[in-house]
Structure 1
């Protein structure tokens, strides 16, 4: 198990899958261990995935100061990983909440980013989040699913505060997996046994305190970040899922609009975890971008 040390002394772990040119991967959750990403639908056959366990998740140590779970406080962890790997520049893929960390990293270290792939990223760092209306609009796209009639009322109650838990950026971020089972299909393009198992593992893979602190608004300065990202010359891919409610494609496009050299793609039929819904489509599109 490879480790490196963050600037504040926290021991951080990463997992290596595949061979070839390295691709640093930042997981979402927020604050879910990288194990849930698997090999990103087979992307490890094309790139050497460097899957970072954010501080306090997976095999990484708990930090001495819980305030360092805040997204902007973890930017230098990513830079320390780059230095540890001995790379002049890094290609980065970030999923969901990890996209906020990736955007902050690109804004602070633009000359260290080779290519940047942002997968189903809500633009929290840019001052926008997915609304209840966003999520319910996307959910209604699933009306033909056999589980929709019972799942939709439970989902609506959960989002409006009448059910268990609260709405956060990523599925499984702040509640037990059992709270999600009745409407988990809305986060996946294919709601099958594999998806159910993936959802059921979320609770044990997630650091709840870290998840609550990650998106602290004090860690974001949207105008300053927009100005910084406008100077990022690295190629950027922003990929959204057609039936994802957090973010809907319209919201994800705002991420692409923040970069001067970005391309935008919508994966047909995909939810929040597009590499699980259609691995072949996902890998072809992402590898085609990464080259």
Structure 2
């Protein structure tokens, strides 16, 4: 029997290829992705269309990075359609939580012992100051380990395409209000070293939903299933619970 579906909303350009099997989570759930459309990421409407197509009354939903914005907006619009919601290294744009340059730089300084740090940190400072845009140079900050596997993953992610504009149909105030009606359990998982989605911002986001569990994966960056697959899968599978017979 196939495991129950988990609807997964990727970030970036909306190509789910970079998610892979989420470190082996596919052994516990059937990973299902919204249809990818050129030049735009998935929207709450795409998620609802997929739910209806699958014939599900309620869904288990996962959003990663910018994909979490669509997942959160969906949950705010359709709180009774969400059985469980997992937000992995989530963007907090949908709920209006801003991340300061100081927060990102302070977190980045914890990697000062890494051999790639000087060039990457200089590039990050320039990006935050608005005087540079060398996103390639800051790539090591997105991973818990900048090893061969991380380099391959980064290269494949870059090849997938540029990040299109986000869906901003709902205001942060409306999304926050909708989330207050969400009774489903929500897991918010941050990587310890993730400058893109710092733990402090993810924890603040957790305070906006009634039944939230906030976790930090030690040693992880923006892709925690790559940094420690076993820990990641244990966390997610434990949150999602056993599949119903």
Q: TM-score, normalised by structure 2?
A: 0.92
Query: Counterparts of 2:123 and 2:176 in 1: how far apart (Å)?
Result: 37
CA displacement at 1:53 relative to structure 2: 4.2
Among candidates 211, 215, 226, match of residue 261 of structure 1:
211
Structure 2 stretches of 5 or more lacking a match? none
Q: Report whether the alignment pairs 1:146 with 2:115.
A: yes
**Aligned positions of 1:42-121 closer than 5 A:** 42-56=24-38, 69=40, 74-121=43-90
Contact 2:11–2:41 under 8 Å retained in 1: no
Contact 1:104–1:225 under 8 Å retained in 2: yes
Q: Indicate the residue corresponding to 1:232 in structure 2.
A: 182
Contact 2:35–2:46 under 8 Å retained in 1: no
CA displacement at 1:280 relative to structure 2: 0.6
CA displacement at 1:206 relative to structure 2: 2.6
Q: Indicate the residue corresponding to 1:33 in structure 2.
A: 15
Query: Counterparts of 2:87 and 2:97 in 1: how far apart (Å)?
Result: 16
Among candidates 159, 166, 170, match of residue 214 of structure 1:
166
Q: Report whether the alignment pairs 1:183 with 2:138.
A: yes
Contact 1:130–1:245 under 8 Å retained in 2: no
Which deviations, in whole Å up to 9, do the C-alpha atoms of 1:182-234 show, x marking residues without a partner? 331101001111111111122331354xx1x2154xx2312221111011000
Which deviations, in whole Å up to 9, do the C-alpha atoms of 1:151-174 show, x marking residues without a partner? 211222233232235xxxxxxxxx
Q: Which moved more, 1:45-54 or 1:272-281?
A: 45-54
Question: How large is the Cα RMSD of the aligned pairs?
Answer: 1.8
Among candidates 179, 182, 202, match of residue 157 of structure 2:
202
Contact 1:123–1:254 under 8 Å retained in 2: no
CA displacement at 1:70 relative to structure 2: 7.6
Query: Counterparts of 2:153 and 2:54 in 1: how far apart (Å)?
Result: 30
Q: Indicate the residue corresponding to 1:173 in structure 2.
A: none
Contact 2:41–2:67 under 8 Å retained in 1: no
Query: Counterparts of 2:91 and 2:234 in 1: how far apart (Å)?
Result: 23
CA displacement at 1:19 relative to structure 2: 3.7
Q: Report whether the alignment pairs 1:287 with 2:242.
A: no
**Using a 3 Å threshold, how does the CA distance of structure 1 residues 40 and 147 change in structure 2: closer, same or farther?**
same
Query: What is the aligned length?
Result: 241
Q: TM-score, normalised by structure 1?
A: 0.78
Runs of 4+ in 1 over 6 A off after TM superposition: none
Structure 1 stretches of 5 or more lacking a match? 1-17, 57-61, 63-68, 166-178
Which deviations, in whole Å up to 9, do the C-alpha atoms of 1:98-146 show, x marking residues without a partner? 1110111011111111100000112101112333222211110101112
